[in-house]
């Protein structure tokens, strides 16, 4: 709880800078992870994509009857 108290105690401008920094760090990580996958040859093949599609559960909708 000490971190939360510290965070609430700093100025709103500083909190915005910290939040923007976290968002920028996460965005950079997402961008660089794609580049690293390409560099190390870990890009999925069409076969891999098809296997993933087969493994995903299918969602079907069922209409609900009206109450009388």
Share of the chain above pLDDT 90, in %: 75
| Region 6-18 average pLDDT | 95
| Region 25-52 average pLDDT | 93
Share of the chain above pLDDT 70, in %: 99
First to last CA, the chain: 53
Q: Where are the domains of the chain?
A: 2-55
In Å, what is the CA distance from 34 to each residue of 20, 26, 29, 53? 22, 13, 9, 20
Question: Residue 15: which residues within 8 A CB-CB, separation 6 or more?
Answer: 7
- Measure the CA–CA gap between 37 and 24, rounded to whole angstroms: 20
Q: What is the pLDDT of residue 68?
A: 61
Question: Residue 15 CB: number of other CB atoms within 10 A?
Answer: 13
| The two structure tokens encoding residue 23 | 């968002």
The overall average pLDDT reported for the chain is 92
In the predicted structure, residue 26 carries a pLDDT above the cut 70 = yes
């Amino acid at each position: 709880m000490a971190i939360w108290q510290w965070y609430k105690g700093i100025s709103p401008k500083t909190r915005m800078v910290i939040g923007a920094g976290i968002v920028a760090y996460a965005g950079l990580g997402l961008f660089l992870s794609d580049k690293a996958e390409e560099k190390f040859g870990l890009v999925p093949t069409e076969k891999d994509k098809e296997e993933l599609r087969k493994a995903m559960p299918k969602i079907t909708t069922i209409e609900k009857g009206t109450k009388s």
